Amino acid sequence: MNPREQVLRNIRGAINARKGRAGNSVESDAALADANPSGADYQLPAAVSEYLDNRGNPSKPSLGEHTDMTDRLLDQMQQVQITVTRLQTSREVPAAVQEYLQEQGIDGTLIVSPALNSMDWPADTLQGVPRAAAEEGTLLTSVTPCLCAVAETGSVVTLSGDATPNTLNFLPDNHVVVIHQDQIVNHMEDAWKLQRDSQQVPRALNFLTGPSRTADIEQTLELGAHGPRRMHVLLVAESRR
Amino acid sequence: MPATPEQPAAGDTHSASNPTGKPVGSTSGPQVGLFVSCLVDLYRPNVGFAAISLLERAGCKVSVPASQTCCGQPAYNTGDVSDTAAIARATIAAFEEFEYIVVPSGSCAGMLRKHYPELLQDDEQWADRAHSFSEKVFELTSFLQEVVKLDDINARFDARVTYHDSCSGLRELGIKQQPRNLLAKVDGVVLNEMESTDVCCGFGGTFCVKYPDISERMVSDKVALAEQTGADVLLGGDLGCLLNISGRLSRLDRPMRVYHVAEVLADMTDVPALAVAETGFVSQPEDGSEKT
Amino acid sequence: MQVRSQEFKLRSSEALLDDSLRAALGNVVSSGFAAKRASAVALVPEWQRIRDEARVIKDHVLDNLDSYLLQYESQVQANGGQVHWAATPDDANKAIVNICRSVNAKIVTKGKSMVGEETGLNEALEDAGFDPVETDLGEYIIQLAEEPPSHIIAPAIHKTKEQVSDLFHQHHQQYGLQDKIDDRADLVAEARTVLRKKFLDADVGITGANFLIAETGQHVLVTNEGNGDLTSNLPKVQIVIVGIEKVLPTLEDAACMLRMLARSATGQHFSNYTSIMSGPRREGELDGPEQFHVVLVDNKRTGMLASSLHEMLRCIRCGACMNHCPVYGSVGGHSYGWVYPGPMGSVLTPAMQGLEKTRDLPHACTLNGRCAEVCPMSIPLPSLLREHRRETFERGLMDPGMRYGIRFWAAVAKRPRLYRAATSIAVKVLATMSRGSGRIRKLPLASAWTQGRDMPAPQGDTFMKLYRKSR
Ligand code: SF4
């Protein structure tokens, strides 16, 4: 028996044994074997899908005293050391990035997501994936768009894709994210809905909730463990399209 | 000379603590069987008499079945299920006739109330009996506070106290506010809560003798937190924890005194605190073998 | 990994004498994580409802585990990934070594994986000639120290800053980092520099997973450092090693668990990086791995599923139980002698390694229940420990002294008259021994009690006797 058959048989045997102890009817030994060894195109048994269809929606936590989700989001972000600048239109983004870099005294190179390349960036701005520059030890600040921002958790959510390489979230030293006001959603579940709207299952959906951190030395928080040391949000009032 | 504190004779206790004036043996109040617990039986009869006194003050008719022994927890927690079940059956048989079974210990009450039904759930003859028995079992302070709603506590105890929440009572039976509410009615008591009052003292029944080093660390931490409050007295509702904590305090020669909460509520603190000598005791020189 | 739980007594006694351990553990249990959790939970009025729902979800999954795993497998394949099944630790290690060989790997980066610790993956990789590098800072520290983790979410919680400084000084000189540094931020920065190169050079990246999503074939990975994402996204091969119990029906179910995970673990509202991934680089993408593999590990989980320990399979590895365990707080994680410490470890280790070698673990607990009270998955840890105790007793694995002692005591306790007589004598003896001092300093038959405590003296006679006399 290969490990796959063995594990599946063990699982079915275990479930059967418990059913039997509870006085329910059990499957025959033959039914424990696997009828679909390739694993492809599996469909859940009807009883299981039915259970899923009929169960109620899970509880979502209330979002505190905030009636305005933007306030809640900003409040949550502040708690996890995400800084925010508010803008009226996306035309203001490149200047706001420069201003942020100056304010923070950040040197190094700007790298922007291909999805944002239509904006008016300085000539020495890189575009695309950060790997090569990171290998050379270049200090990078990335600018990326996002799928949405979740007020519940204070997270920015990015979706990987042709124009949105997700290593821009992790390799650079600083990460600037552009959020449009109408991209703010209430709960995690709203992000799942947006994912389902995309054609295929994405390779990566990343919830980013503050600059990288660790408390692995003496339970004391330090920022900038492996990912970005700083995370900055440009919140644009005008809608995305 | 054995350290025999003067015991109030039970007969006196009955009349002294029976302000209702009803004759002993009255059938009007609830019929309560007192499960005294093995540690109270062995180490601290005063707690048993205090419980009787409080229950009678609340108008109960109290009986103490002679065939009770221990709730069986030591065997249960050692994995000896069949012996525990035998003890459980005997305890149920001895007590099921009462309207209520009251226990001056959260841990034994938890055993009777939560674990007996689990233990006997597959026993056709006993499952139902265990279930209806268990619903009648109460820890002393919760019974006084929630069932008979004892309001008239006539006691005085001039001390700053801190209260240790025993784990089983707290988590199996939700005993937290009940003893505090009752203590608030005792004249002279000032309650200073300690940090982490809900963390285990390290007693754990057989645990404390199987893993004495770990148990000692835990009780030392507990004692340190209790002392931080500046209290003179530590109270609790479980004699196991109290033997452990008082034993540690005594070993460290610390002045903090330890009583069972029932002793304070019943105004029966004229006896020496746990691990404390009678007044007039003159310590004798210890021989070499006792230097530990 | 080799189990050393047989040495629990010895190692816990040593740990109690270790001052730097005491300093490092600080007051994990009384304040620290416990206090942070309490304030995070207090901000979610729906906590208990979410907790109840989580339990229902996980029990449903466990009742249909085969179906959900098959659905997950099929979806991973649809996303372009491969699924490997492992009944034993050896199956898992072999599958991973084979993948590494097939791409001529040298450096293998690893995100923290407790299942990888279970299977002894690092050792297997080293034996096969690869260079596994732990990238979670805590795991990296203990890898340098050649120690197992002492906590499931804070693996190096037993190390002081000074010890970390020594380790870095010793191991980082090979990278030209000669100066010994003491500042915490500098230590973090130095690890960042060293590991950054490993991330970029790695051929294979291996992580664990917090949840698997059957509906979509995705897995959810939660970290604070971002090491999991650098491990997953940079190398050309991505491998996930995960226990079979981690599967959930949908992303909605994951949301339920995620709402509890960080709050229970560290008291954060949400972890920094929550990543939901599946499959290799899609056509047209500029980054991401070329190959994606998942290794589904049983390693005795199906045995637990069949047994009275099945509720343990709801565990989401948050660590709250150990953060609230006073025994763990006293003796630290290494005393437990294997991968999983604290209450959940004392249930899992005997189930995975057998009671013969681990019989102390279920007993080294006061059954105070603080762990079960905070467990987000409502796992009745004390009852499961009692199950192990029952089996230890029934299979005769118990220390004979203890076993006969208890049976003898029970025989007396079952006979009230005999019990009365015995207790009367015991009380008299104890009272005599205290000689009026109210306490007994040394008891020959209970030296374990009196080594650190006095025995309070009884009041002079048993309650039952005094009561009968008074009637
Ligand atoms: S047993 Fe519960 S508290 Fe402990 S790690 Fe698992 S889920 Fe968390």
Instruction: State ipTM.
Output: 0.96
Tokens 């009944």 — which residue? C87
Residues A198 and A222 in one domain: yes
Axis-axis angle for helices B212-228, B239-251 (nearest 10): 80
Most confident among A177-181, A194-198, C35-39 (mean pLDDT): A177-181
Q: Which of C270, C299, C322 to mutate to test the interface with A (most CBs of A within 10 A)?
A: C270
Best CA proximity match to B22, nearest among B70, B65, B56, B73: B56
- Domains of chain B, earliest start first: 31-146 (no CATH), 152-279 (3.40.50.11810)
- Scanning C167-186 for CB atoms below 8 A from A yields 184-185
Q: What is the pLDDT of residue C174?
A: 95
| Domain count of the fold of chain C | 3
SS3 A123: coil
Q: C457 in a domain, yes or no?
A: yes
Whichever domain contains A188, its CATH number is 3.40.50.10420
Q: How far apart are CA A133 and CA A126, in angstroms?
A: 9
Q: How far apart are CA B60 and CA B50, in angstroms?
A: 14
Mean pLDDT of C43-70: 97
> Under an 8 A CB cutoff, do C310 and A18 touch?
yes
Residues C237 and C93 in one domain: yes
Instruction: Compute the nearest-CA separation of C435 from chain A (Å).
Output: 49
| B284 neighbourhood in chain C, CB within 8 Å | 435, 437
Q: C304 in a domain, yes or no?
A: no
Residues C295 and C316 in one domain: no
Distance set, CA A4 to CA B89, C88, C122, C295, C296 (Å): 48, 11, 23, 11, 9
Mean pLDDT of B166-194: 96
Mean pLDDT of A98-120: 96
For a ligand 1 pocket test, name from C29, C260, C315, C340 the mutation site with the most ligand atoms within 8 angstroms of its C-beta. Answer: C315
Q: What is the pLDDT of residue B33?
A: 98
Residues A49 and A143 in one domain: no
Q: If pLDDT is split at 50, 70 and 90, which confidence band does C23 have?
A: confident
Residues C164 and C212 in one domain: yes
pLDDT tens digit sequence for A144-162: 999 999 999 999 999 999 9
Is the CB of C272 inside 8 Å of chain A's CB atoms?
A: yes
Residues C149 and C288 in one domain: yes
Q: What is the pLDDT of residue B284?
A: 54
pLDDT tens digit sequence for B52-98: 999 999 999 999 999 999 999 999 999 999 999 999 999 999 999 99
Element (H, E) at B76: helix B73-76
> Under an 8 A CB cutoff, do C457 and B275 touch?
yes
Out of C275, C299, C323, a domain closes at C299
Beta-sheet pairing, A126-127 with B257-260 = unpaired
Q: What is the pLDDT of residue B267?
A: 97
Residues C271, A227: contact at Cβ < 8 Å?
no
Distance set, CA C38 to CA A79, A154, C374 (Å): 17, 20, 9
| C302 neighbourhood in chain A, CB within 8 Å | 7, 10-11, 13-14
Q: Which of B206, B250, B286 to mutate to test the interface with C (most CBs of C within 10 A)?
A: B250
**Which of A67-76, B179-188, C202-211, C221-230 bottoms out in mean pLDDT, i.e. has the lowest?**
A67-76
Residue B283 has pLDDT above 60, yes or no: no
Residues B35, B103: contact at Cβ < 8 Å?
yes
Q: C295 in a domain, yes or no?
A: yes
Residue A35 has pLDDT above 90, yes or no: no
Percent of chain B with pLDDT over 90: 84
Tokens 């604290």 — which residue? C342
Length of chain C: 471
Q: Which of C467, C469, C471 to mutate to test the interface with B (most CBs of B within 10 A)?
A: C467
Is the CB of C194 inside 8 Å of chain B's CB atoms?
A: no
- Touch between B and A (at least 3 CB pairs under 8 Å): no
**Dihedral of the CA atoms C233, C235, C241, C242 (nearest 10)?**
0
Q: What is the pLDDT of residue B27?
A: 52
Closest residue of chain C to B217, computed from CA coordinates: C330
Residues A134 and A172 in one domain: yes
Q: Residue C6 phi/psi, 5° resolution?
A: -60, -25
Element (H, E) at A177: strand A174-180
Mean pLDDT of C193-220: 97
Residue B289 has pLDDT above 70, yes or no: no
Q: A59 in a domain, yes or no?
A: no
Residues C75, C214: contact at Cβ < 8 Å?
yes
Closest residue of chain B to C460, computed from CA coordinates: B4
Residues A7 and A107 in one domain: no
What's the DSSP call for residue A29? G
Closest residue of chain C to B70, computed from CA coordinates: C413
Q: How far apart are CA C163 and CA C159, in angstroms?
A: 6
Residues A10 and A89 in one domain: no
Q: Find the C376 Cα to ligand 1 centroid distance in Å.
A: 7
Q: What is the pLDDT of residue B282?
A: 61
Q: C3 in a domain, yes or no?
A: no
Instruction: Compute the nearest-CA separation of C2 from chain B (Å).
Output: 24
Q: C75 in a domain, yes or no?
A: yes
* Beta-sheet strands, E only, within chain B: 31-34, 61-63, 100-103, 137-139, 156-164, 187-191, 233-236, 257-260
Residues A50 and A82 in one domain: no
Residues A98 and A205 in one domain: yes
Q: How far apart are CA C147 and CA C157, in angstroms?
A: 12
Q: How far apart are CA B236 and CA B84, in angstroms?
A: 26
Q: What is the pLDDT of residue B16?
A: 38
> Under an 8 A CB cutoff, do B80 and C393 touch?
yes
| Domain count of the fold of chain A | 2
Out of C364, C398, C432, a domain closes at C398
Out of A26, A54, A82, a domain closes at A54
- Touch between B and C (at least 3 CB pairs under 8 Å): yes
SS3 C362: helix
> Under an 8 A CB cutoff, do B218 and C327 touch?
yes
Residues C116 and C265 in one domain: yes
> Under an 8 A CB cutoff, do C161 and A206 touch?
no
pLDDT tens digit sequence for B9-55: 333 334 334 333 334 444 578 999 999 999 999 999 999 999 999 99
Q: Find the C257 Cα to ligand 1 centroid distance in Å.
A: 12
In terms of residue numbers, what domain contains C228?
Answer: 45-299
- Number of Cβ atoms within 10 Å of the Cβ of B175: 25
Distance in Å from the first CA to the final CA of chain B: 23
**Which residue has its alpha carbon closest to ligand 1 atom 6?**
C315
Q: Is pLDDT larger for residue B86 or for residue A33?
A: B86
Q: What is the pLDDT of residue B250?
A: 96
Task: List ligand 1's pocket residues with C-beta within 6 A.
Answer: C 264, 315-321, 344, 375-377, 379
Residues A154 and A43 in one domain: no
Nearest CB among C331, C366, C455 relative to B204 is that of: C366
Q: C28 in a domain, yes or no?
A: no
Residues C207 and C272 in one domain: yes
Is the CB of C64 inside 8 Å of chain A's CB atoms?
A: yes
Residues C295 and C321 in one domain: no
**Which of C21-35, C41-55, C80-94 bottoms out in mean pLDDT, i.e. has the lowest?**
C21-35
Residues C70, A42: contact at Cβ < 8 Å?
yes
Residues C148 and C286 in one domain: yes
Residues C198 and C250 in one domain: yes
Nearest CB among B45, B80, B167 relative to C459 is that of: B45
Question: What's the mean pLDDT when you consider all of chain B?
Answer: 89
Residue C453 has pLDDT above 80, yes or no: yes
Exposure b/e, C291-320, CB count within 10 A at least 16 = b = bbbbbbbbbbbbbbbbbbbbbbbbbbbbbb
Residues B266, B54: contact at Cβ < 8 Å?
yes
Residues A112 and A200 in one domain: yes
Residues A123 and A11 in one domain: no
Instruction: Compute the nearest-CA separation of B182 from chain C (Å).
Output: 24
Residues A189 and A114 in one domain: yes
Rg of chain C over Cα atoms, rounded to whole angstroms, equals 26
Q: C374 in a domain, yes or no?
A: yes
Residues C256 and C315 in one domain: no
Q: What is the pLDDT of residue C26?
A: 74
> Under an 8 A CB cutoff, do B212 and C449 touch?
yes
Nearest CB among C250, C269, C278 relative to A153 is that of: C269
Is the CB of C400 inside 8 Å of chain B's CB atoms?
A: no
Question: What's the mean pLDDT when you consider all of chain A?
Answer: 93
Helices and strands in chain A: count of H runs, count of E runs: 6, 12
Mean pLDDT of A204-213: 97
Q: How far apart are CA C160 and CA B199, in angstroms?
A: 25
Tokens 């929606």 — which residue? A57
Residues C133 and C257 in one domain: yes
Is the CB of C413 inside 8 Å of chain A's CB atoms?
A: no
Q: How far apart are CA B268 and CA B262, in angstroms?
A: 8
Q: Looking at the CA of residue C312, tell me the nearest atom of ligand 1.
A: 1
Residues C321 and C431 in one domain: no
Q: How far apart are CA C469 and CA B179, in angstroms?
A: 30
Mean pLDDT of C222-246: 98
Q: C164 in a domain, yes or no?
A: yes
Q: Pull the structure tokens for residue C25.
A: 């553990």
Q: A75 in a domain, yes or no?
A: yes
Out of C299, C328, C358, a domain closes at C299
Residues A13 and A132 in one domain: no
Q: How far apart are CA A67 and CA A65, in angstroms?
A: 6
pLDDT tens digit sequence for C256-276: 999 999 999 999 999 999 999
In terms of residue numbers, what domain contains A36?
Answer: 3-54
Rg of chain B over Cα atoms, rounded to whole angstroms, equals 19
Q: A88 in a domain, yes or no?
A: yes
Instruction: Compute the nearest-CA separation of C245 from chain B (Å).
Output: 27
Closest residue of chain A to C76, computed from CA coordinates: A40
Q: How far apart are CA C3 and CA C311, in angstroms?
A: 23
pTM above 0.90, yes or no: yes
Q: Pull the structure tokens for residue A194.
A: 């947006």
Q: Pull the structure tokens for residue B134.
A: 């268990």
Question: What's the mean pLDDT when you consider all of chain C?
Answer: 95
